[in-house]
Amino acid sequence: MTKKENHPAVEKLRTGISSLDIIAKGGLPKNRTTLISGTAGSGKTVFAVHFLAAGIDQGEPGVFVTFEESAEDVRRNMRSFGWDLPAWEEQGKLTFVDASPDPHIDTVEAGGFDLGALLARVQNAVNKVKAKRVSVDSLGAVFSQFSDQTMVRGELFRIASGLKGMGVTAVLTAERTDDHGPIARFGVEEFIADNVIILRNALEDETRRRTIEILKFRGCDHQKGEFPFTIVPHGGVIVIPLSAMQLSMKSSNVRISSGNKDLDDMCGGGFFRDSVTLVSGATGTGKTLTVTQFLQGGAANGEKCLLLAFEESRDQLVRNATGWGFDFEKMERDGMLKVICDYPDLSGLEDWLVTIQRIINEFGPQRVALDSLSALENVGTLKAFREFVIGLTSFIKHKEITGMFTATTGSLMGGDSITESNISTLTDSIILLRYVEMFGEMKRGLTVLKMRGSAHDKAIREFTIGRGGMQMGRPFRNVTGIIGGAPMHVSPGDVERVWSQYDKAVDRRRPETISGS
């Protein structure tokens, strides 16, 4: 670091771009230039405009220098993000320096030249609106406008240093040809700017995944590595700062009802208020019922509930709930419940996270249920899925919301799911629902596998589903191997003998099935 005792540390400018300031540890270095490099479609222009839009929101006027798209195109394209550029121009908060090539004008080069006019125009624009921020989009397009690359290089250096002299914080975009190749196409862009941020839009397993990485900040600190981000209408760039979210988690000792008295008892008195519970089981074991009870319990307690359903349609959910004796429609009319049904493939996981966060912020629920996470597994890569769960978990904990996610196991008997094995460490409680085959009959079993910070019932209990929901029965005392998916009936004599060998109740899980929770 170049920090000296008699020099103040590099000041940061809070950009106002959602969560970018977290990974940038306060914002972009003030009065300096930052290169935003990325492949085509990685979101550079949106970033550049968002940087100015966020500044205008904070009362910092901006200048947009465009070398690629015409100012008119930029104005039109940015409308969908909710940024009314022409209005800001009228109010004197924003001005364009339109340096895009005009196809109608033929230009001939006859001798040496420089980009003095451009610099003068930028200076003029900065003075005109008293700009604090400047976005230049993009450097590469300058190279393609002129044949003399050496001149362009030299001039870009001059413009970058000129920008610093104007007392503005600038963002310069540059193209790169490869998500993991050289920083930028012409090999000099990164030297023009003090700082480098890389935007990626990598194709992994047939899905696109956007990430943002701060490669270097001269003289100041930032978070390392790639962070997922997304670009949403009426929002622009939204960075998902995984680590920052985990740090801000709270923990509550307040217990709330799961909506089922017996289940509350098994959990040692109910769920913790800002906990996240994973309900895992094969299809038809009662996951949606557990969720329905959870929502009913919340509504009965005067808590607003949000249901995100990715597997069943709204009508199916309402019908099922009615069958169990719960009136979803009334809960909705009372404003206690909001049901969001959608196809999981409709958008990427980052977009889902942002959408869900927005819905939660708007509706303000105390309980959120997601049925099921497994439906989202295939929307993105495993990594993206994990990040989604981390992001959602930390978000709802931060909001002190009680969460319940469901996961579907692949096999009917026992087994675990991708969801379960990947996110079990992220959840506070795990409830397993399993089929138990006994003498030609399928029975249902439930066990509380994990309950962070609380004692809980270790038994695997039989339960039946009827009107009124789940009726908890006796533990399967004389069956072993339920969780493993190979239930075996044990004669009562054997059970007695085994139990007499241990004073206390032993955990009868098979160790190879459940670990790391």
With vertex at residue 389, the alpha carbon angle to CA 387 and CA 392, rounded to the nearest 5 degrees, is: 105
| 127 vs 464 by CB, closer to other proteins | 127
Q: Which of 60, 68, 175, 189 is catalytic?
A: 68
Residue pair 236/78 in contact (Cβ under 8 Å)? The answer is: no
| 129 and 92 Cβ atoms separated by less than 8 Å | yes
For residue 482, which of 458, 504, 510 has the smallest C-alpha distance? 510
Closest distance between other proteins and the C-beta of residue 98, in Å? Answer: 6
The residue type of 421 is S
Q: Taking the complex as a whole, how short is the minimal distance between the CB of residue 127 and other proteins, in angstroms? A: 9
Q: How far is the CB of 69 from other proteins (least distance, A)?
A: 14
Using omega within 30 degrees of 0 as the cis cutoff, is the peptide bond preceding 372 cis? yes
Which one, 1 or 110, has the nearer CB to other proteins? 110
Least separation, in Å, of the C-beta of 49 and other proteins?
20
Cα–Cα distance for residue pair 22/4, rounded to 1 Å: 25
Nearer to other proteins, 106 or 206 (CB): 106
How many Å apart are CA 99 and CA 64, to the nearest integer?
10
SS3 at position 19: coil
- The nearer residue to other proteins, 97 or 308, going by C-beta atoms, is 97
Provide the minimum distance between the beta carbon of 108 and other proteins in the complex, in angstroms, as a whole number.
Answer: 3
Residue of 213, 226, 311, 437 marked active site: 311
Nearest approach, Cβ of residue 93 and other proteins (Å):
18
Report residue 299: phi and psi, to 5°.
Answer: -65, -40
Q: How far is the CB of 119 from other proteins (least distance, A)?
A: 8
Of the two residues 113 and 499, which places its CB atom closer to other proteins in the complex?
Answer: 113
**How many angstroms separate the CA atoms of 101 and 333, rounded?**
57
Q: Is 278 exposed, middle or buried (0-12, 13-18, 19+ CB in 10 A)?
A: buried
Burial of 346 (0-12, 13-18, 19+ CB in 10 A): exposed
The residue (of 94 and 267) whose beta carbon lies closer to other proteins is: 94
* Minimal distance, residue 136 CB to other proteins, in Å: 13
Centroid of chain to Cα 76: 28
Residue 305, C-beta contacts closer than 8 angstroms, at least 6 positions apart: 294, 295, 298, 299, 331, 336, 337, 338, 365, 366, 367, 368, 369
CA distance 406 to 436: 19
Residues that bind other proteins in the complex, under the rule CB under 8 A: 97-99, 102, 104-118, 120-121, 123-125, 145-146
Nearer to other proteins, 145 or 421 (CB): 145
Q: Is 68 a catalytic residue?
A: yes
8 vs 112, beta carbon nearer other proteins? 112
**From the CB of residue 90, how many other CB atoms can be counted at a distance below 10 Å?**
10
Distances (CA, A) of 482 to 415, 443, 513: 10, 11, 11
Nearer to other proteins, 90 or 102 (CB): 102
Minimum CB separation of residue 170 from other proteins in Å reads 18
Query: Of all helices (H) and strands (E), which one includes residue 140?
Result: helix 139-145
Q: How far is CA 223 from CA 70, 197, 217, in A?
A: 35, 11, 10
Nearest to 447 by CA among 380, 514, 499, 360: 514
Please list the active-site residues: 68, 311
